[in-house]
Amino acid sequence: MADDILLKVKEAEDKADETINNAKIKAREIIDQAKLRSDEEYKEIITSSKSKAKKILEDAEDAANKEKEPTIEEAKAIAAKLKNQSTGKIESIVNSLSERIIENGNS
């Protein structure tokens, strides 16, 4: 009878050891899966963040380009106006000098 009790205690201990070992294995599997999921989520977050940053940068560049267009057009118009004025002034100066040369040449 004592042998039966000792045998049952031994079996209970063996079963407890097996349960503990199984629990350790399952815990390692859970931890490994959690690490894999966290790595995947990290990569997804990084990819998403880079994509959002790129979109923000592109939107900012588009907005800057739209804002600078009127200024560029205005500068082109002013440059063309100055160029036309300069051409007229140059012609006026050339004509004036030509007249003086002709007048002085005839003296």
CA distances to 90, 92, 98 from 102, in Å:
18, 15, 6
What confidence score (pLDDT) does residue 80 get? 84
d(CA 32, CA 40): 12
Residues of the chain with pLDDT > 70, as a percent, come to 94
Q: Can you say how many angstroms the Cα of residue 50 is from the centroid of all Cα atoms in its chain? A: 5
What confidence score (pLDDT) does residue 85 get? 73
The predicted model gives 87-107 an average pLDDT of 75
Instruction: Scan for tokens 């349960």, then name that residue.
Output: 19
What confidence score (pLDDT) does residue 5 get? 87
Q: Which pTM does this prediction carry? A: 0.52
The predicted model gives 7-26 an average pLDDT of 94
Per-residue pLDDT of 34-67, as tens digits, reads: 999 999 999 999 999 999 999 999 999 999 999 9
